[in-house]
Structure 1
Amino acid sequence: MLTTRTGIRTLTPADLPEFLDLVAEDPVVNVFVDYRARTTNLDRRWLGGEIWGRFVGGRMIAACHAGANLVPVQAGTDDVAAFAERALTARRTVSTIVGPSEPVDALWSLVAGEWGHPREVRRRQPHLELAGPPAVAPDPLVRRTERSDLEAVYPACVAMYTEEVGVSPEQGGGADLYRTRISQLIARGWQFARFEEGRVVFKAEVACSSPYAAQIQGVYVAPDRRGEGLASRGMAAVAEIVRAEIAPVVSLYVNEYNHPARRAYDRAGFVETARFSTVMF
């Protein structure tokens, strides 16, 4: 059903081609929603939420992923206002608002009064891309993880998540669910690590991918091994494998204040193409 005042309706599988055309206007920045659309066919049963489209003159001009993550897509000022209105009238399922800084900051300003205090707001996060060979020699010891690596890699995954997010993924009885998530990444060939004497000293994962790009998450170096160049060489290795076998461009976004990580990505050859913001509840 179309909301006439805002021109918004929930997308269905029939809208997939037009939605993918919209996403392709900035395909690397929009890789998360591209991945979600392709893997679910915009079917709400698999999305675990909805994707809203905003239409003007019968043409989709913007969209917004609305599930655990609220993610604006190609949204200008009027689009953001319309999506905020929709978000405030829908049942809230959102734990994170994330995406390009301008629409995310505007969206948050419009819903903040109703949604209360977030756990953290991270603005101006550099969005980085690598579309060619890395600038440093890849670490030859970085490889895809295998099922037999789960017990060794799982503690590093928990440590990375806890350090990055501020809470353990095992909190509230979430250990089994998080272990299943790591197992799925390994099964897909989406996790990479360097092991030394059975211990993970570097790791990274593919979070999502499309025909255009793959987004990296969960980059981690063991605390006692930081400052040795493991991250830059490790990311060079990950980028080479990903670009050869998964997607032509490798992307990620990083906290503005994380200067060691930013230096490592810069050395590996990543370049900034946008800024993201993240609001976490």
Structure 2
Amino acid sequence: MVRPPHVLTQTTTRVLDPSDLDAALAVLDREPVANAFVTARVRVAGLDPWRLGGEMWGWYEDGMLESLCYAGANLVPICATPRAVRGFADRARRAGRRCSSIVGPAEPTALLWRLLEPSWGPAREVRSQQPLMVTDRLPDDITPDPYVRRVRKDEMETIMPACVAMFTEEVGISPLAGDGGLLYQARVAELVGSGRSFARIDAEGRVVFKAEIGAATDRACQVQGVWVAPEYRGQGIAAPGMAAVLKYALADVSPVVSLYVNDFNTAARAAYRRVGFREVGAFMSVLF
């Protein structure tokens, strides 16, 4: 019997190539919200490692592709069974750590980190519970902030300091380290250029609130980089600002909007709940 290409008979992992695109998308589409970040990249770049910015590892059970792991700047287990996670951990150990973080659904990510920590550890920080929240509608009782709008391409110098402040506060290191911020600035410019960067900018040109739609597919998108200027915190700006971003996202991007947030950020979680987001799972992040 002649077998189709790349259908393996044993339980194993391998690096996927462009001919595996349909099979990989079928796995990604099983969980469109949780997988939005990787799905968006794959739909734009395919599975060529140079264009994708990393390799896509596949785990085969009984000859069928069952689980994935994106291995780029982040290591991301996708629809990963415990056996798949062990296979991905073996490959990651052999390759050595090349990523700046491990991030994904909490249960497989926790197992992956337990297997990798003896050789990759210690981590700079482990965030074991980051609630994954979603909504598919605008809130009834919060008016979107009319001053939140898309950031224009000529406003890069205005939005960039707020983006750097948010990243540094959230991650604990500056995105300007290493290459001087070239990659980070390029990413911010990409989001601004694609109309997925939003902000409220006051009359003096200061950013009061900002957020981006960092990943988008035809089934779900993911909001990231939500930030309120420190001097405006506690004034009820976040919820109307998020409602405005949600209005744009649902009208122009995807029918479902998601985000994940640190469990200790009670103020942010409360603001998201006010806008109508509900918790449907949890992510985990390991930061190096």
Same fold at TM > 0.5: yes
1:5 Cα deviation from its structure 2 partner: 6.8
Structure 1's unaligned 5+ residue stretches are: none
- The aligned residue for residue 83 of structure 1 is 88
- The aligned residue for residue 208 of structure 1 is 215
2:282 is paired with a residue whose SS is strand
CA distance in 2, matches of 1:126, 1:6: 32
1:181 Cα deviation from its structure 2 partner: 2.0
Q: Does 1:181 align with 2:192?
A: no
Percent identity of equivalent pairs: 48
Q: Matches of residues 44-123 of structure 1 in structure 2 within 5 Å?
A: 44-123=49-128
Residues 134 and 239, structure 1, Cα contact 8 Å, conserved in 2? no
Question: 1:257 is matched by which residue type in structure 2?
Answer: F
1:262 is paired with a residue whose SS is helix
Residues 246 and 200 (structure 1), Cα distance of their counterparts in 2 relative to 1, 3 Å cut: same
CA distance in 2, matches of 1:170, 1:190: 22
1:172 is paired with a residue whose SS is coil
2:103 is paired with a residue whose SS is strand
- The aligned residue for residue 278 of structure 1 is 285
Structure 2's unaligned 5+ residue stretches are: 1-5
1:224 is paired with a residue whose SS is helix
1:37 Cα deviation from its structure 2 partner: 1.1
- The aligned residue for residue 3 of structure 2 is none
CA distance in 1, matches of 2:166, 2:157: 15
Q: Does 1:154 align with 2:166?
A: no
1:74 Cα deviation from its structure 2 partner: 0.7
- Give the structure-1-normalised TM-score: 0.96
- The aligned residue for residue 13 of structure 2 is 8
- The aligned residue for residue 257 of structure 1 is 264
Question: 2:149 is matched by which residue type in structure 1?
Answer: R
Q: Does 1:42 align with 2:56?
A: no
Residues 40 and 216, structure 2, Cα contact 8 Å, conserved in 1? yes
1:207 is paired with a residue whose SS is strand
**Which digits, 9 at most, give the CA deviation of each residue in 1:127-155, with x for residues without a partner?**
01111123421111110000121111111
- The aligned residue for residue 25 of structure 2 is 20
- 1:245 aligned residue (242, 252, 266): 252
How many residue pairs get aligned? The number is 281
RMSD over aligned Cα atoms = 1.6
Question: 1:186 is matched by which residue type in structure 2?
Answer: V
CA distance in 2, matches of 1:115, 1:4: 31
Q: Matches of residues 191-230 of structure 1 in structure 2 within 5 Å?
A: 191-197=197-203, 198-230=205-237
Task: Judge which range, 214-223 or 175-184, deviates more.
Answer: 175-184
Question: 1:121 is matched by which residue type in structure 2?
Answer: V
2:145 is paired with a residue whose SS is coil
1:194 Cα deviation from its structure 2 partner: 0.5
CA distance in 1, matches of 2:111, 2:169: 28
**Which digits, 9 at most, give the CA deviation of each residue in 1:198-224, with x for residues without a partner?**
111000011111111111111000001
- Give the structure-2-normalised TM-score: 0.94
- The aligned residue for residue 166 of structure 1 is 172
Question: 1:232 is matched by which residue type in structure 2?
Answer: A
CA distance in 1, matches of 2:33, 2:226: 19
Q: Does 1:129 align with 2:137?
A: no
